[in-house]
Amino acid sequence: MNRKILVTGGAGFIATNLIHYWRDKYIQDQLIIIDNLGFASNIDNIKGLIEDKKIIFIKGDICKAKLLEDIINEYSINYIINMAAESHVDRSIIKPDDFIYTNIVGTFNLLEAFRIYWERNGSPKEWRFLHISTDEVFGSLDLNQARFNEDTSYDPRSPYSASKASSDHLVMAWYHTYNLPVIISNCSNNFGPYQFPEKLIPLTIINCLRGQPISVYGEGKNIRDWLYVLDHIKALEKILIKGKTGSKYCIGGNNEINNIKLVSLICDMIDDQLPLRDKRKETLIKFTKDRPGHDFRYAIDSTYIKSQLGWEQKITLENGLEKTISWYMQNKEWWEPLMAKLK
């Protein structure tokens, strides 16, 4: 089938990596990208593909229902990968309305625009609406609790995770009510090239390189499960092509580590390449007041996607960090202008 794929949030971190990967591998597919070029988006991520006419880019907001209807009709969209989202917990605490609007209203608009077009074309079973979500919708784990899986109850703790949980529920409601061919993926923390420098790993790398303080919440004991972005993209590829509609797939990295150990590891890895008189982790790491409602631990059990679709994560935390550090060291001209946004 000739896939005409609408990727929302296409100038963001994970979507950028997916678009480059997909364009290289599936040259027959048409990729239409929409992004409002908000705070964490960067058109330079995909500028070369736009200029070479390898993708079609539309600057627009998924909260504008008419725009979505026009795009879906004009380009005969039969696949949607919804990656558009406000995703930073700290900013969701300060200004939650942006998260409610984009993550809930925007997802609703996409579902409705796609449903109407899908029904008008005879409700083809092979069409897909893939909704990219997060492990944060499941809440927080204690140290000895079993990892999240597809049957874990939702228990969001922040405005961000609550808005994503709401969008997940909408997606499944459109499956049960209208039989729309939807799939949801819930993924652990990603890292890798093109990640906006407000996030922990790129910000730690950049501050290490610049000799700037590295802030760690509380005592740094909060645990996250990290997944290198290319492994995530390959999971999404399998889900989109082989996944079962109405299903959820949990994607984890099997790389649990607490924040202080992660930050210290990054400092050590950069010290090995660019040694200073004093170790970076001894001079740069500063502990700050903890985030309100800071979830203690996230961890994902990927048994289902491994058994059903044959996906496996390939890149270890250390190897992924080596690749990521190298990318940020070689792409100062990409991240340096973005740091001004964080001031």
Cα–chain-centroid distance for residue 312?
18
Mean pLDDT lowest for which of 120-124, 232-236, 271-275, 319-323?
Answer: 271-275
Tell me what pLDDT residue 258 has: 97
Residue pair 40/92 in contact (Cβ under 8 Å)? The answer is no
Calculate what percentage of the chain has a pLDDT beyond 70.
99
Mean pLDDT of 99-104: 94
Say whether 268 is catalytic.
Answer: no
Question: Taking 90 as the threshold, does the pLDDT of residue 275 lie above it?
Answer: no
User: Residues 109-119: pLDDT tens digits?
Assistant: 999 999 999 99
Q: How confident is the model at residue 134 (pLDDT cuts 50, 70, 90)?
A: very high
Tell me what pLDDT residue 39 has: 85
Question: Taking 80 as the threshold, does the pLDDT of residue 131 lie above it?
Answer: yes
Task: From residue 16, give the alpha-carbon distance in Å to each of 12, 60, 82.
Answer: 6, 16, 13
What is the helix (H) or strand (E) element at residue 257, kind and residue range? strand 256-258
Which is catalytic among the residues 136, 168, 295, 301?
136
Question: Taking 80 as the threshold, does the pLDDT of residue 253 lie above it?
Answer: yes
Tell me what pLDDT residue 61 has: 96
Calculate what percentage of the chain has a pLDDT beyond 90.
89
Tell me what pLDDT residue 342 has: 77
Tell me what pLDDT residue 92 has: 83
Cα separation, 82 vs 15, in Å, equals: 9
Say whether 112 is catalytic.
Answer: no
Q: How confident is the model at residue 53 (pLDDT cuts 50, 70, 90)?
A: very high
Mean pLDDT of 172-188: 98
User: Residues 292-336: pLDDT tens digits?
Assistant: 889 999 999 999 999 999 999 999 999 999 999 999 999 999 999
Cα separation, 224 vs 331, in Å, equals: 26
Main-chain dihedrals φ then ψ at residue 145, nearest 5 degrees: -75, 150
Which is catalytic among the residues 79, 160, 228, 328?
160
249: three-class secondary structure by DSSP: strand
112: three-class secondary structure by DSSP: helix
Tell me what pLDDT residue 218 has: 95
Q: Where are the domains of the chain?
A: 4-195+226-254+296-314
Q: Which of 75, 149, 150, 162 is nearest to 117 (CA)?
A: 75
Which is catalytic among the residues 35, 61, 86, 135?
135
Q: How confident is the model at residue 291 (pLDDT cuts 50, 70, 90)?
A: confident
Tell me what pLDDT residue 315 has: 96
Tell me what pLDDT residue 127 has: 98
Beta-bridged to residue 285, according to DSSP, are 214
Question: Taking 80 as the threshold, does the pLDDT of residue 276 lie above it?
Answer: no
User: Residues 16-27: pLDDT tens digits?
Assistant: 999 999 999 999
CB atoms within 10 A of CB 199: 16
Residue pair 154/168 in contact (Cβ under 8 Å)? The answer is yes
Mean pLDDT of 186-190: 97
Say whether 70 is catalytic.
Answer: no
| Whole-number average pLDDT of the chain | 95
Question: Taking 90 as the threshold, does the pLDDT of residue 144 lie above it?
Answer: yes
Whole-structure pTM value: 0.95
Residue pair 248/184 in contact (Cβ under 8 Å)? The answer is yes
Cα separation, 187 vs 148, in Å, equals: 10
Tell me what pLDDT residue 341 has: 78
Question: Taking 90 as the threshold, does the pLDDT of residue 240 lie above it?
Answer: yes
Q: How confident is the model at residue 88 (pLDDT cuts 50, 70, 90)?
A: confident
Give the number of C-alpha atoms closer than 13 A to the C-alpha of residue 304, restricted to the C-beta side: 19
Which tokens hold the place of 259?
Answer: 């924040």
CATH class, range 4-195+226-254+296-314:
alpha beta
